[in-house]
Amino acid sequence: MIYADNAATTQLNKTAFEAMTPWLIDEYGNASQPYSFSRKSKKALIEARAIIAECINAQPEEIIFTSGGTESDNWAIKGSAFADSNKRATITSAFEHHAVLHSCAVIERLGYPVTYLMPAVTGIITPESLSNKICDSTRLVSIMLANNEIGTIQPIKELCEVAHSYGALFHTDAVQAVGHIKIDVRELGVDMLSASAHKFNGPKGVGFLYIRKGTEIAPYIDGGAQENSRRAGTENVASIVGMAVALKENCDCLDDHLTSIYMLEHQLLSMLSDAHISYIRNGGDKTLPGLISLSFAGADGEAILHRMDLAGICISTGSACNSESTEISHVLKAIGLDEKHAKGTIRISLGKNNTADDVDAIVATLIKILK
């Protein structure tokens, strides 16, 4: 099997797995209990929080553990709307992940206005487009750091400056970016940032929301006093420890991984060009390393996916479909890709475990299918 769908999920780092196991069997104490058996769990949470904070240049108390990217996004959107404020409007983009879009739909139904910015054909939300829509009643601007289908990296720092000049908060869904490119929350200036461990070789079902000190946001999950009374629920110590170890390992090796992934990306695109396969690479110049969205005019992305699967290769498409209809993805629609190309779109997402031999096999199979 060749796995080239790392934007969907990644393989757990061995070091993360090994760091997790003691907390599943032997050290199972509830971190909230005062006795000495639980003290180790509590200490593990403190250490994990500090490691994660350092990886993104935050303060430890600004990291709140969640169940993953979906929860972090829900919290940022709904928690901002429900915070006590005269400002009620939210601005987001039309090509966010559904965790953001569907959360926005909920607050809209509750009477909070939401504006959806359209990206340029390059897949970029420009600061000018935000300036045109933002106003004094804007409470939150939420724009993803990197798009999960086409990989485009957004000008977050500049967008953030526009938001702040109107007194609005800025949230970014950085689920695809954390652990893959350098992230410095101070340099970006964001107020909130969502991340998910399984996208950076950590375990599934755990993530975090960075909340800058002083940011007003209503709790999203109510109950006990965990996470400084901001997010209730007994902490998943093993997964949190695994997340911290995975993130640190990826951040420590980032430069080496980037060099090898860019080489694989170059190899893949050159092999396609050498075979005279014509394609569009979606997302312009500034995309996440290894995330390659390709559109082949007149081809059928779903059929390519299934034939690649038969050859033992995991990739994904740019469009979701069911047995009756093939719907073009909202991301490809938002960047204005025509139907002929949109239906023939696939996403190959290479990760740190992929090799040059994997790329040879992926491209050889793809060429055979396309021809």
Instruction: Give me the active site residues, please.
Output: 321
Residues 6+ apart with CB under 8 A from 255: none
Of the candidate spans 85-93, 168-176, 256-264, 286-294, the one that interacts with ligand PLP by CB under 6 A turns out to be: 168-176
6 binds ligand PLP (CB under 6 A): no
Matching residue, tokens 């999960």: 148
Judged by CB under 6 A, which of 173, 235, 249, 358 binds ligand PLP?
173
| Residue placing its CB nearer to ligand PLP in the complex, 80 or 196 | 196
175 binds ligand PLP (CB under 6 A): yes
* DSSP H helices in the chain: 14-25, 36-55, 69-82, 98-109, 127-133, 156-165, 185-188, 226-229, 237-252, 254-274, 301-310, 330-334, 339-342, 356-370
Cβ-based neighbour number of residue 335 at 10 Å:
25
Least distance in Å: CB of 99 to ligand PLP?
4
* DSSP state at residue 221: S
Rg (C-alpha) for the chain, rounded Å, is 21
CA distance 319 to 340: 12
Both tokens of residue 67? 């169940």
Cα torsion angle, 326, 331, 334, 335, sign: negative
Least distance in Å: CB of 162 to ligand PLP?
21
144 binds ligand PLP (CB under 6 A): yes
Draw the binding track, 199-218, toward ligand PLP (x: CB under 6 A; -: no contact).
Answer: --------x-----------
* Closest chain position to ligand PLP (CB): 69
Of the candidate spans 16-24, 66-74, 133-141, 274-282, the one that interacts with ligand PLP by CB under 6 A turns out to be: 66-74
Judged by CB under 6 A, which of 68, 119, 290, 301 binds ligand PLP?
68
Site of interaction with ligand PLP (CB under 6 A):
68-70, 73, 97, 99, 144, 148, 173, 175-176, 196, 207
